[in-house]
Structure 1
Amino acid sequence: MKLKQKVIYYKDELNDEFAFDNIKPRKIGAEYKYVYNSIWKKFTRFFWYRIFAFPIAFCYLKLAYRHKIVNRKLIKQAKKTAFFLYGNHTHNMCDALIPTMVSVPKSVHVIVHPNNISMPVLGAITPSLGAIPLPDDMDSTRNFLKCIETRVRQKKVITIYPEAHIWPFYTKIRPFTSLSFRYPVQYDVPTFCFTNVYRKRKFSKSPQIITYVDGPFYPDKNLSTKEQREDLRNKVFNAMTERSKLNNIELIKYIKKEDNTVK
C-alpha cells in the first residue's frame, strides 16, 4: 500500500521538537515529589503499571504495529541488578510503552521532559507509570538525583532517550551528548540500548515496529570518568546507528532548512 510521504523541515537536530507543541510544561521545582513510600502510592503504581498499562500497551503495540522484540534475552544478564536503557525517540505513544516490553518482568522508570506530566488527565497518571521528569532548578535537581539513586538501589530499570526530543518515525539516529551516560558510570551498572525500526507492511498504512536490543555495555575502568561516559555513548550510538540501517520505510522525510529554499 503506497502512502503519501509527509515532509518536515528542521533547523537543529539537537533541539527541535515535533511533538507536544501545544502543551505548556509544568515547572518542576523543589515541591515536586519524585519518590513516594506510602502504601497507597505503591498500590497506585502497581495498579496503573501492571494491571492497567501493561496489558493495554501489549495489545496496542501488537495490534497497531505488529510489534516484535529481537534479542530481548540479553536483558536476562542484568536480572539481579539495576541497569540503564537507552533508545531512539521516534514515537510519542510507543516510546512510553516499549521500554516496559523490553524489560519485563523488571519495573521500568523513564526520564522524561516535563511535558509528559503536564498533559490533561494523563499527566496525573504518568508518574505512577514511572515517569521521572527533568528538574528545573537546583533544589529539584537534588531530588531528581536522589530519585535516580533510589531506583538504582531498588534494582530498577531506568530508561533514557538521549536524543531528548521526539521526531516521529525518524529512521536515523540523531547526534546526542554523553551527559546522560554519567549515571551508569557513577553507579557502575550495565547499559543496554534498543533501536525501534520501521518496516513496510503489505496491507496496512501503519508500519511494523521491530525493536532491536543491544548490550550489555560497561564502563571501562581504565579510562577517566569523562572518557568512560564518552566511550559508553559511542558504543550505544554506534549500535543504534547500525540497527537503524534496517529501516525500509520512511513515512516522514526530514529536510534541514539550510539545505533548501524553505523560509
Structure 2
Amino acid sequence: MNEIIYYTDELNEEFSRAKITPRVIDGSFRYFHGKLWDLCSLIVQNVLSMPVKILYQKIKFHLRYVGREKLRECRNRGYFIYGNHTQPFADTFIPSVANYPHRNFFIVNPENVSMPGMGELVEMLGAIPIPCDLAGMKHFVQSVEDKIRKNYSVTIYPEAHIWPYYIGIRPFRSVSFQYPVKLNCPVYALTNTYHRRKGRTGKVNIVTYIDGPFYPDEGLKPKERQQNLRDRVYLCMEERSRESDYEVIRYRKAEK
C-alpha cells in the first residue's frame, strides 16, 4: 500500500527526510571565487560528476526527456529553468543533464551547503545558496546575474520545499520571477511526471517535460510582468503534471 502524507500548508511544509542544521549564509559568504576555483568547479560540474548524474537518473528512474531540443533556441544566452521540487538528489541532476554541455547552476536553501565536509563540493556542483540577511542578498543577486551574463542557466524550484514524488504542482509565489524580469531573459518550465514501471511493481519511471522559452512581456509594468511570467510557467507545469499516472506517495490535506 502506498504511503500517505497529510499536509496543512502547501506553501511552507517540507517533507524532505534529510534533517540538516543550516549554516548561516550572510554578507561574509563567498559567492565569487578565483579562476582556479572556477576551473575546478567546471571540471567537477561538467566532467567528473556527469557520468554519475546520467547513470543515477537512468538506473533509478529510467528517466526520459520530452522537449529537450527546445533548449537549443537559447544555447547562446543565459536563461532560467523553473521546475517542480519532488526529488532530493535527482532535482540537481535532471536540469544539468538536460542542459549539457551548457553549464547549469541552481538556487538552493542553506541546508544544501551545510553538510559537514560537503559544502564546498556542492558549491562546485553549481549550488547558489539563499542568504539570510541583506548584505548577503546583494552578493547573491550579483552571483545569479553573473551566471546569466556568462550565458549559463540557473535552475529555480519556486515551490521551495521538497515533496517527494508529488504529482501535482503546488501554488508558488512570483517572487523568484523577478530575476528574469530584471535581466529580460527567457525561462523554461521543467516538469517531472511519474509513471509505473512495467513489470516491476513499486518501481517508478520519470518523464521530464521541457517547455518554453517563455519571455517577459515588455508591454507590462515590472510587477505585472513578474506575475504574468509566473502564471504562464505555472499553467504550463500544471498541464504537464496531469501526465503523471502513478502516485508513489499520496498527499492528502489534513482536516482542521
**Structures share a fold, TM > 0.5?**
yes
Match for residue 40 of structure 2?
A: 44
Check if 1:152 corresponds to 2:145.
no
- Deviation beyond 6 Å, 4+ runs, structure 1: none
Q: Does 1:29 align with 2:21?
A: no
Q: Report the counterpart of residue 54 of structure 1 in structure 2.
A: 50
**Which residue pairs with 1:123 in the alignment?**
119
Query: Which amino acid in the other structure matches residue 218 of structure 2?
Result: K
User: Which of 154, 157, 161 pairs up with 1:161?
Assistant: 157
Counterparts of 1:181-260 in structure 2, within 5 Å, are 181-204=177-200, 205-258=202-255
How far apart are 1:197 and its partner, in Å? Answer: 0.4
- How far residue 107 of structure 1 moved from its aligned partner, in angstroms, is 0.3
Contact 1:196 1:209 in 2 (8 A): yes
Q: 1: distance between equivalents of 2:100 and 2:46?
A: 10
- Per the TM alignment, residue 20 of structure 1 is displaced from its structure 2 partner at its CA by 5.1
Structure 2 residue 139 is matched with structure 1 residue 143: yes
AA matched with 1:18:
F
Matched, 1:12 2:9: yes
Tell me the percent identity: 39
**Counterpart of 1:68?**
64
Partner residue, 1:171: 167
Contact 1:89 1:163 in 2 (8 A): yes
CA distance in 2, matches of 1:83, 1:47: 22
Partner Cα distance (2:12, 2:18) in 1? 13
**Which string of whole-angstrom CA distances, capped at 9 and with x for unpartnered residues, describes residues 90-125 of structure 1?**
010110100101211210010001110012333331
CA contact (8 A) 2:46 2:100 kept: no
User: Tell me, what secondary structure is at the counterpart of 2:132?
Assistant: coil
Distance, in Å, in 2 between the alignment partners of 1:177 and 1:110 is 18
Counterpart residue type for residue 17 of structure 1: E
The one-letter amino acid of 1:158's match is V
Cα distance in 2, alignment partners of residues 58 and 143 from structure 1? 32
Stretches of structure 2 that go unaligned for 5 or more consecutive residues are none
Is the CA contact (8 Å cut-off) linking 1:83 and 1:158 kept in structure 2? yes
Shift of 1:50: 1.9
CA RMSD of superposed structures (Å):
1.1
For 1:20 and 1:35, how far apart are their aligned partners in 2? Answer: 31
Shift, 1:21, TM fit: 4.7
Instruction: Determine the C-alpha separation between the residues in 1 that align with 2:19 and 2:67.
Output: 37
Q: Are the equivalent residues in 2 in contact too, given 1:20–1:115 (CA < 8 A)? A: no
Q: Which amino acid aligns with 2:28?
A: E
Q: Name the CA distance, whole Å, in 1 between partners of 2:8 and 2:118.
A: 30
CA distance, structure 1, for counterparts of residue 215 and residue 48 of structure 2: 34
Indicate conservation of the 8 Å contact 1:112/1:132, yes or no: yes
1:66 to partner: Cα distance: 0.6
Counting matched residue pairs gives 255
Paired amino acid for 2:156: I
Residue 258 of structure 1, CA deviation: 2.2
Q: 2:186 & 2:46 partners in 1: Cα distance? A: 25
Residues 128-181 of structure 1: CA deviation (Å, up to 9, x unaligned): 000000010011001101101111111110000000000000000000011000
Using the alignment, how far apart are the partners of 2:151 and 2:110 within structure 1?
24
The CA distance in 1 between the partners of 2:120 and 2:32, in whole Å, is 15
Gaps of 5+ in 1: none
